[in-house]
């Protein structure tokens, strides 16, 4: 829930006169409830907006959003420099495109806040709507800030308004994504997000939330024509492979070795790792048995060290527990 408190005036000589002018007309009750529902701001803020603009709903809404942004910029400046290791990933995907967006905050308390989660959902939807790359994307905060949302404001302004209401420093950190190229009609995507914090909802609209997430792109073995049964089986296995990637954190890329020796270092390669849901078989062999070829994958962990790039997951020392599905 957004919280705004707008002072009327600070000039003592005009305060009384302005107070009378502002309150000489009452806010329309129906419009007041509608404005609150549209914006989420407090009744007092919505009432002042309607009175200031003589019950013009559009102007009142515009004024509220403008005030939220200006107050958010002020607060953002005061909060600059704070450490932000918490937050959420927003994951959104279709058959041909999928994105993971990371939004950071200072505490897990804010990560459970509905307003913060709404911001994460908006960020993921905005990245998806602006996805024009033919294959793979990787965007940092400087690129994310400039993207325009469905409400015609930039993600930066949307984030700043959220800072004004939530009261913590917030950062649009990065976005990564995979796409099925136009000439690869047989390829498909699978996604998975893992929530490890209590109190975080599964998602908003089609955006799923998590602290860890993965996307893979796969196709039929030898590019054979695939029937519905294969696609159904592959979609299920694809999600399981994403779970494996989240849990076992393999090295990036699909490199392998021709003659595995059993060296522990070899298990950092995804295709050589024992499959998370059946350790009697390695990932590569499991894919082969199901006539699948893995083309690419990405893994993101919310709040991971800045020195670790989202596409360069070099550590396999701390796997997380993934429930079987």
When the candidates are 3.40.470.10, 3.30.479.20, 3.40.50.300, 3.30.870.10, the CATH number that belongs to 86-301 is: 3.30.479.20
Sorting pLDDT into bands at 50, 70 and 90, what band is 40? low
Beta carbons within 8 Å of 247's beta carbon, 6+ residues apart: 194, 276, 319, 320, 321, 322
Phi-psi region at 167: left, alpha or beta (left = phi > 0; alpha = psi -120 to 50): left
Number of neighbouring beta carbons within 10 Å of residue 311: 15
Sorting pLDDT into bands at 50, 70 and 90, what band is 72? low
Architecture of the domain whose range is 12-79: Orthogonal Bundle (1.10)
Per-residue confidence (pLDDT) for residue 304, from 0 to 100: 84
Instruction: Delimit the domains of the chain by residue range.
Output: 12-79, 86-301
Rounded to 5 degrees, what are φ and ψ at 40?
A: 80, 0
Beta carbons within 8 Å of 14's beta carbon, 6+ residues apart: none
Strand-pairing partners, residue 172, are 103
Per-residue confidence (pLDDT) for residue 309, from 0 to 100: 46
pLDDT at 18 over 50: no
pLDDT tens sequence across 97-114:
999 999 999 998 999 988
Per-residue confidence (pLDDT) for residue 292, from 0 to 100: 96
Per-residue confidence (pLDDT) for residue 81, from 0 to 100: 64
Inter-residue contact 103 to 170 (CB < 8 Å)? yes
pLDDT tens sequence across 278-310:
999 999 999 999 999 999 999 999 988 754 444
For the chain, the straight-line distance linking the first and the last C-alpha, in angstroms and rounded, comes to: 34
């Amino acid at each position: 829930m957004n919280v705004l408190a707008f002072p009327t005036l600070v000039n003592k000589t005009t305060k009384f006169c302005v107070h009378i002018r502002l309150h000489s007309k009452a806010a329309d009750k129906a419009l007041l409830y509608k404005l609150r529902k549209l914006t989420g701001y407090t009744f007092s803020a919505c009432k002042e907006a309607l009175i200031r603009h003589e019950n013009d709903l559009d102007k009142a809404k515009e004024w509220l959003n403008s005030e939220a942004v200006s107050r958010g910029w002020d607060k953002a400046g005061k909060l600059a420099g704070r450490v932000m290791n918490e937050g959420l990933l927003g994951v959104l995907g279709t058959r041909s495109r999928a994105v993971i967006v990371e939004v950071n905050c200072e505490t897990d308390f804010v990560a459970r806040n509905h307003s913060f989660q709404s911001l994460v959902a908006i960020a993921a939807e905005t990245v998806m709507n602006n996805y024009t790359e033919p294959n793979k994307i990787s965007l940092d905060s400087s690129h994310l800030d400039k993207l325009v949302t469905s409400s015609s404001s930039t993600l930066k302004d949307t984030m700043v308004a959220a800072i004004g209401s939530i009261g913590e420093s917030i950062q649009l950190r990065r976005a990564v994504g995979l796409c099925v190229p136009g000439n690869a009609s047989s390829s498909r995507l699978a996604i998975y997000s893992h929530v490890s914090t209590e109190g975080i909802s599964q998602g908003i609209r089609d955006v799923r939330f998590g602290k860890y997430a993965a996307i893979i792109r796969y196709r039929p073995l030898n590019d054979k024509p695939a029937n519905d049964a294969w696609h159904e089986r592959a979609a299920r296995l694809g999600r399981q492979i994403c779970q494996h990637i989240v849990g076992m954190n393999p090295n990036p890329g699909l490199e392998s070795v021709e003659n595995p020796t059993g060296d522990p270092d070899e298990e950092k390669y995804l295709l050589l790792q024992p499959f998370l849901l059946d350790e009697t078989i390695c990932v590569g062999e499991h894919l082969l048995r199901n006539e699948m070829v893995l083309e690419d994958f990405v893994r993101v962990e919310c709040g991971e060290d800045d020195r670790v790039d989202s596409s360069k997951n070099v550590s396999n020392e701390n796997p997380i527990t993934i429930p079987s599905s």
